[in-house]
């Protein structure tokens, strides 16, 4: 299939992109890597009148160190994330998760900002950003604002971004010495996660000082397994199994051809346990 006709504008700067969004309102769509938007347009499930291409704004690409955080340009590709030395050193979970996204071709084009702004609860990276307590930086007509990841994902394919805002940067904390793991459970290599679990563990004296657990595809947005996290504060490895039993608390998993809600809840518990065990060991 072929997308419906649209006007194409290649934005030269973020300001220009913001201006174009203001001018065209909900007629306009931002084009990042295009791997969520273009398939929707080909199936004519999306038919924007104006497509604003962010692909040539160099300032939106790349990873830099900023104090205790890494600042990732929204247009940094998945591929770049998997190869970036700063990510590898300070936030390896993001590289590991990104390796599971799509396929090599998709990772060459797809971007972290695009994946975040798409807001897919079945996406692997939004979950990870949530688990990382990332900060999303949006630029609108009145300048920049910061949105905590916990406030960013608001509903099914919905985010806190206003219509005239561009997601420009994602800041993640350095979790240099944290243990981590991502458990992605899917039917075939190309399929989306039925359930995914991102686990981060800060270790102290062989035990768990702090744990963060993000859940993929367990509700209308990415979620945190808060009860599990609380149960693990100061726990030892032996506490993982019991804590993981609480992983599905507060979730509202969807039903589809792969799983009914109770199976998703079961998977969340099992995968949380496995992810935490691996994280502690890594």
Partner 1 sequence: MPAISVEIDGVNYEDEVEARLLLVYYLRDRLGLTGTNVGCDTSNCGTCTVLLDGQSVKSCTVLAVQADGTEIRTIQGLAENGEWHPLQEAFHTEHGLQCGYCTPGMIMSSLDLLQENPDPSEEEVREGLEGNLCRCTGYQNIVKAVRKAAGEMKEGASA
Partner 2 sequence: MTAVEDAPSAQIGQARHRKEDPKLVTGQTSWTDNIQLPGMLYMAFVRSSMAHARIDGVDYSAALEQPGVIAAFSGEDLADDWAGPLPCAWPVTPEMVHPDHWPLAKDEVRYVGDAVAVVVARSREAAADAAEHVVVDYEPLDAVVDMEQALEDSTLVHSDKGTNECFVWNLDSGDLDDAFENAEVVVKRRFINQRLIPTAIEPRAVVVAPVPASGQYTLYSATQVPHILRTMLAMTTGVSEEKLRIVAPDVGGGFGSKLNVYAEESVALAVSSRLKRPVKWTESRSENYQATIHGRDQIQDMEVAADADGRIRAIRADLKADMGAYLQLVTPGIPVLGAFMYCGIYKMDAYSFTCTGVFTTKTPTDAYRGAGRPEATFALERLIDELAAELEMDPIELRKRNWIKHEEFPSDTIAGLTYDSGNYEAATEKAMELFGYDELREEQHRRREDGDRVQLGIGVSTYTEMCGLAPSRVLGSLDYGAGGWESAVVRMLPTGKVEVVTGTSPHGQGHETTFSQIVADDLGVDFDDIEILHGDTKVSPQGLDTYGSRSLAVGGIAIHMASERLVEQMKEAAAHMLEAAIDDVEFEGGTFRVKGSPEASTTIQDVALGLFTAHDLPDGFEPSLQAECTFDPENFSFPHGTHLAAMEVDTETGEAKVRSYVCVDDVGTIINPQVVEGQIHGGLVQGIAQALWEEAIYDDAGNLVTGSIVDYYVPGAPDVPSFTTDHTVTPATSNPLGVKGVGEAGTIASTPAIVNGVVDAIRHFGVNDIRMPCSPERVWRAIQDREGHTQDDTSDQELEGGGMG
Taking CB under 8 A as the criterion, the residue among 67, 85, 189, 206 binding partner 1 is 189
Tokens of 228: 């599990």
3-state secondary structure of 156: coil
Q: Binding partner of residue 51 among partner 2, partner 1, none, CB under 5 to 8 Å per kind?
A: partner 1
8 is a site residue for partner 1 (CB under 8 A): yes
- Binding to partner 1 by CB under 8 A, coded x per residue (else -) over 129-168, reads ----------------------------------------
190 is a site residue for partner 1 (CB under 8 A): yes
Which of 79, 153 has the CB closer to partner 1?
A: 79
**Closest CB 170 distance from partner 1, rounded Å:** 22
**Closest CB 42 distance from partner 2, rounded Å:** 8
**Closest CB 112 distance from partner 2, rounded Å:** 21
Per the CB < 8 A criterion, the answer to whether 140 and 165 are in contact is yes
48 is a site residue for partner 1 (CB under 8 A): no
Taking CB under 8 A as the criterion, the residue among 14, 18, 30, 51 binding partner 1 is 51
**Residue (of 223, 243, 247) closest to 235 by Cα position:** 243
Q: Binding partner of residue 38 among partner 1, partner 2, none, CB under 5 to 8 Å per kind?
A: partner 1
**Residue (of 205, 204, 279, 192) closest to 243 by Cα position:** 279
- Which residues contact partner 2 by CB under 8 A? 1-2, 4-5, 43-44, 185, 187-191, 194, 255-263, 266-267, 270-271
Burial class of 212 by CB neighbour count within 10 A (0 to 12, 13 to 18, 19+): buried
46 is a site residue for partner 1 (CB under 8 A): no
Per CB under 8 A, which region of 106-114, 133-141, 237-245, 254-262 contacts partner 1? 106-114
Which of 79, 185 has the CB closer to partner 2?
A: 185
Angstrom distance (rounded) from CA 264 to CA 253: 7
10 is a site residue for partner 1 (CB under 8 A): yes
- How many residues touch partner 1 under the rule CB under 8 A: the total is 30
Please give the backbone phi and psi of residue 117, each rounded to the nearest 5 degrees, phi first. -70, -25
Residues of 148-181 as b/e, b for ≥16 C-beta within 10 angstroms? ebeebbeeeeebbbeebbbbbbbbbbbbeebbbb
Angstrom distance (rounded) from CA 274 to CA 240: 9
**Closest CB 6 distance from partner 2, rounded Å:** 12
Angstrom distance (rounded) from CA 75 to CA 33: 8
Q: Element (H or E) spanning 22, and its range?
A: helix 14-24
Q: Binding partner of residue 266 among partner 2, partner 1, none, CB under 5 to 8 Å per kind?
A: partner 2
**Residue (of 85, 78, 121) closest to 100 by Cα position:** 78
Which of 36, 139 has the CB closer to partner 2?
A: 36
3-state secondary structure of 250: coil
Per the CB < 8 A criterion, the answer to whether 248 and 176 are in contact is no
**Residue (of 97, 149, 116, 109) closest to 275 by Cα position:** 97
Binding site for partner 1 (CB under 8 A): 1-8, 10, 31, 34-35, 38-39, 41-43, 51, 53, 55, 79, 102-106, 108-109, 189-190
């Amino acid at each position: 299939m072929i997308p419906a006709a649209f006007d194409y504008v290649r934005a030269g700067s973020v300001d220009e992109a913001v201006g174009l969004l203001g001018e065209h309102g909900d007629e306009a769509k931002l084009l990042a890597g295009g791997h969520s938007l273009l398939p929707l347009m080909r199936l004519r499930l999306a038919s924007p009148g104006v497509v604003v291409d962010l692909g040539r704004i160099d300032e939106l690409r790349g990873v830099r160190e900023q104090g205790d955080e890494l600042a990732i340009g929204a247009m940094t590709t998945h591929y770049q994330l998997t190869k970036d030395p700063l990510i590898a050193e300070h936030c390896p979970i993001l590289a590991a998760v990104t390796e599971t996204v799509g396929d090599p071709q998709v990772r060459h084009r797809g971007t972290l900002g695009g994946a975040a702004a798409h807001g897919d609860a079945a996406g692997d990276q939004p979950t990870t950003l949530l688990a990382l307590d990332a900060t999303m930086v949006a630029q609108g007509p009145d300048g920049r604002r910061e949105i905590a990841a916990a406030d960013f994902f608001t509903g099914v394919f919905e985010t806190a971004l206003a219509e005239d805002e561009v997601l420009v940067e994602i800041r993640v904390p350095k979790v240099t010495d944290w243990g981590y793991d991502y458990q992605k459970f899917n039917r075939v290599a190309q399929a989306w996660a039925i359930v995914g679990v991102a686990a981060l563990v800060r270790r102290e004296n062989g035990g768990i000082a702090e744990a963060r657990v993000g859940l993929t595809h367990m509700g209308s947005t990415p979620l945190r397994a808060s009860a599990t996290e609380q149960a693990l504060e100061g726990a030892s490895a032996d506490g993982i199994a019991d804590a993981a039993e609480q992983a599905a608390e507060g979730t509202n998993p969807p039903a589809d051809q792969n799983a009914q809600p109770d199976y998703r809840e079961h998977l969340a518990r099992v995968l949380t346990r496995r992810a935490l065990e691996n994280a502690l060991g890594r």
